[in-house]
């Protein structure tokens, strides 16, 4: 007889799950935290963008409205927010601008994925299902020549 044990929480801040029982919850938490980070950075956009006061562990205080600085100085633990930070750094290194915008767009895409997940649709399947539907519609409205008849219409 095999003994099965469930994973116990590692500490008060991290937990381990066995199987996909909690996968939807984990995805939802990651997406919501990513959205919160994007919302914090989004308020710094535009000519009326608000400045943020960032307090670092060593006591240093930074006041900025630069989205890249805000995202780089945030200490994040969630995987989705870490990816948003990496996305911001990549955009800043490649173009020198648009770090906040790319994070806001990515968070909006994650929120759309969350709405699909709540309806039981995997976000990766949505483009595939949409393409299949468009293909079916286009095939039903387009007359196709019969393969059994000759080009002149005579058999």
Q: Is residue 4 part of a domain?
A: no
pLDDT in tens, 129-139: 777 777 787 77
| 85 sits in which H/E element | helix 79-95
Domain of residue 31, CATH code: 1.10.560.10
Domain that holds residue 91: 23-138
Q: Do the beta carbons of residue 110 and residue 79 sit within 8 Å?
A: no
- pLDDT 10s digits, 44-76: 888 888 888 888 888 888 888 888 788 888 887
pTM, two decimal places:
0.60
- Residue 41 falls inside a structural domain: yes
- Nearest-5° Cα angle at 50, 45 to 56: 105
Q: How many domains does the chain have?
A: 1
Q: How far is CA 39 from CA 28, 70, 93, 111, 153, in A?
A: 16, 12, 22, 12, 64
């Amino acid at each position: 007889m095999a003994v099965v044990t469930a994973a116990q929480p590692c500490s008060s801040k991290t937990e381990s799950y066995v199987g996909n029982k909690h996968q939807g919850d984990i995805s939802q938490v990651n997406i919501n935290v990513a959205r919160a980070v994007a919302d914090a950075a989004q308020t710094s956009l535009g000519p009326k963008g608000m400045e943020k006061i960032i307090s670092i562990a060593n006591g240093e205080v930074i006041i900025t409205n630069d989205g890249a600085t805000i995202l780089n100085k945030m200490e994040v633990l969630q995987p989705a927010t870490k990816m948003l930070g990496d996305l911001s750094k990549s955009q800043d290194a490649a173009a020198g601008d648009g770090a906040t915008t790319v994070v806001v767009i990515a968070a909006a895409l994650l929120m759309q994925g969350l709405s699909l997940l709540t309806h039981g649709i995997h976000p990766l399947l949505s483009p595939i299902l949409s393409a299949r539907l468009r293909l079916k519609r286009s095939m039903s409205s387009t007359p196709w020549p019969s393969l059994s008849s000759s080009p002149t219409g005579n058999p």
